[in-house]
Amino acid sequence: MTDNNTDDVEKTTDQHANKFGFEKWVGKNLLLILTLMGVLFGIILGFSLRPLRLQETTILLISYPGELYMRILKLVILPLIMSSLITGCSSVNARLNGKIALRTFSYFLVTSMFNGLLGVILGVTFQPGDPGLGLSTSHNRQERVSGSVLDSMLDMGRNIAADNIFQATFQQVYTDYVNTTKILNEINGTSHAVSKIEKVLKYRLGTNNLGIVFFCIAFGTILGTMGTKGKLIKDFFAVIFEIIMKMVKGILWITPLGLCSIIAGKIMIVADIAVVMSQLGWLILTVILGVLFYQFVVLQLVYFLVVRKNPFKYYLGVIQGTLTAFAAASTAAALPVNMDIMDNELKIDPRITRFVMPIGCNTNLDGTAMFLAISIIFITQMSGFSLGMGNLLTIWFTATIMSFAVTSVPSSALIILVMVLSAMGIPTTNVPLLFAVDWLVDRFRTTNNMLGDCYAAAIVEALSKKELLENDYVNVEVGENCKNGDQLKNVNSKFEIDEV
């Protein structure tokens, strides 16, 4: 009888423990569960309401919560980037900053090159371009587009070296071509008009993140060499960063509603989904296969080899940011979410995340490099052009380099695509076909871009552990000297000289 009572008690205890464990798991992952439910409900709602052919006003109201969610996310991006970079760069000495920057940009370049090469291989292997799908044209004249590959690269340099940091917060510089007409007066008194296309620099609305990133890296690095004189400024930006992250925590709880609204609205406004999928399904499949291969094979393998931890556990840790990036189709919009995950869930060194994540958001576009390579081959095949090895190498190089010139906003890759095709002498008349599917493909390549940044942070942290520990040791020594008041001036002087 005693044994039976003991068994019952143990069974009851196990049930309570399991129930408590499940409740604890649900409580810890409640936001993720709600986000997944929001995404699924958005898909179901969108496809359920499509047959009703609702009025534009009704669709607008359904999409309105998602629009507000995106606006709030974008509101915190600029202060987050500035406070994050300045705090991160000023928390380590200049020598360590240089090593972290070198590793970060080297990693970004290698992964972009790999994705460009992967896109070329997939495009040649699967050949998604079908000449029968091409748009009919009455002539083969090459369309003139505003801009070129060289102009885009030069504009990237101009935006990095912004001449006005305040203007950079709301405007970007770009090259445009305008028709100018001049009246020439002849000696005999007659005159005639001469038209000429001139290249001019203009500004368009949009945050110049590249210029802001460059300024903040320089500002933060120099601030880190100021010693006690710069402590007040360091604390100022550190507090700003904490405030922004507290705001982000509040914003995250409206993510399920926001993503549901965005996805449902987008599904309802896309015309003829079935027709588009049947015509361009092979292109979509090629891009998705490339994205999945990179995410579930390449990234996991690199993470395991460098970090020596379970990569899939890390992948599940950033799933909240992945869903946000997928729904918003913007790496920048997912940045606040990812910064919160890196700091509080995955416990990546904040000195790394505050440096790598904002830079990666604006320069590391792995999915875009792959998409550009596949799309160039797709349009080329549809236009009936054959590609030799030299052409494929050109596509690989161009897709890799131009991925750094693409801004982290939806569908910006298509603008670069038109420029690249024009530079290669390939007709751009079939590019509008891609706009029909870019609403979907853009989301998949954005997840690649976002995950590339998250994995870069973990990998750079693993490669920089020795230097980070040394920096901690130096900070402890300096702190002890400050506390004891022994040779403070000499310590600060030596610290600043070493950094220079």
Q: Mind listing the pLDDT tens digit for each residue in 286-315? A: 999 999 999 999 999 999 999 999 999 999
The set of residues, in sequence order, having a beta carbon less than 8 Å from that of 341 and lying 6+ positions away, is 317, 318, 320, 321, 454
Task: Give CA–CA dist 396/372, Å, rounded.
Answer: 9
Q: How many CA atoms lie within 13 A of 301 on its CB side?
A: 6
For every residue of 58-76, DSSP letters joined together read HHHHHHHHHHHHHHHHHHH
Place of tokens 């919009």: 333
Instruction: Please report which confidence band the pLDDT of residue 477 belongs to, taking 50, 70 and 90 as the band edges.
Output: low
Q: Inform me whether the pLDDT recorded for 141 exceeds 80.
A: no
| Top-confidence residue, 342 or 145 | 342
Quickly state the pLDDT bin for 442 (edges 50, 70, 90).
confident
Out of 19-33, 123-137, 356-370, least confident range: 123-137
**Is 402 a residue whose pLDDT tops 50?**
yes
Structure-model confidence comparison of residues 157 and 133, the more confident one = 157
Q: What's the confidence (pLDDT) of residue 101?
A: 87
What is the per-residue pLDDT across 220-275, written as a single tens digit (0 to 9) for each? 989 988 888 999 999 999 999 999 988 988 888 998 999 899 889 888 887 777 76
Q: Quick one: pLDDT band at residue 486, thresholds 50, 70, 90? A: very low
pLDDT digits (tens, 9 = 90+) for 165-224: 999 988 888 888 888 777 766 666 667 677 777 888 888 888 888 899 899 989 998 998
CA distance 303 to 339: 19
How far is residue 118's CA from residue 336's CA, in Å, rounded to a whole number?
29
Mean pLDDT of 405-426: 68
18 — pLDDT class (breaks 50, 70, 90): low
Instruction: Map tokens 């090259």 to a residue.
Output: 175
